[in-house]
Amino acid sequence: MFKTLAGRALIPVGIAVTGFVVVCFLLLYSVIKNVVNRDTVGYATNLADTILKSTRYAMLKSDREMLTTIIGNIGQQKGVEHIRIFNKKGIVNISTRSDELDRQVDKKTEGCIGCHAGATPSASLGKMEQARIFTNGDGRDVLAITAPIYNEPECANAACHVHPPEQKVLGILDIGLSREMLLNSLASIRNQMIVFTIMILVLTVGGVTALLRRSVFLPLQRLRHLADQVEAGETPTAHPTHFPRELDRIAQSLYNLSQRIRPAGKEPATTEQGTVPKDV
């Protein structure tokens, strides 16, 4: 195929266009995936803030029953995998899963190491640093947010609490959300982009092929036929017309050459444009 002009022209163009479109597809999908993940983390962080504000009054009153009821109701919502609150020692005080109550959390896990990496635990984390992705025991992908519960003046001054003002963090709220809907959305976006990419490749390569065939390859075939006639000593049956500007000069030269080498006594061919004179 590379021996023909069409192959040498179309194959590199097809490869170049395909490579360019595939690279653009990968870059665009990567950007979309990052934006969707960032927005999902933002949504989960806002949900954690909402839970903290909803349970603030129950925490101030040290009403464990109300706090457990609020956490349980939120945990029943679709897409919520777990909600738990543990104190600064890492002991789970409240959880939507009864098997986690009063258990010690490993501070070396991914959700805790961000604050406990150094000798002194960090008191604050950015939104993206609060998030972690893992697969739970049920085999589902989970996006978890770890939000610190800060010691506010109302907490330190409450009669039912013993929290000195210098203690910045009272505990941690950990909420896990299922990533099933997110992964399904990304898969749908990816499939639609693949179909769109294939359409672009087909239309682009097909359009370039059709354009080159009409503007280059067909005129070259006619020019080759004209050259074969001249090489065989035949007089072209028609005056060359409708060639592109660059090829028209070659076609006219070949036609003129055929008239010069015309066998003696043979009249020139008559065309639609009239009779060609003997001396061109």
- pLDDT for position 206: 87
Q: Residues of 8-29 as b/e, b for ≥16 C-beta within 10 angstroms?
A: eebeeeeeeeeeebeeebeeeb
- pLDDT for position 170: 79
pLDDT along the chain (280 residues), means of 10: 66 86 93 92 89 84 85 89 84 85 69 54 60 83 87 62 66 89 93 93 87 76 72 65 66 69 51 42
Alpha-carbon distance of 47 to 54, in angstroms, equals 10
Alpha-carbon distance of 74 to 83, in angstroms, equals 8
Under a CB-based contact definition with an 8 Å cutoff, are residues 165 and 75 in contact? Answer: no
CA distances from 270 to 2, 55, 207, 273, 274 (A): 39, 100, 38, 8, 6
Residue closest to 259 by CA, chosen among 249, 269, 274: 269
Q: Output the pTM of the full model.
A: 0.67
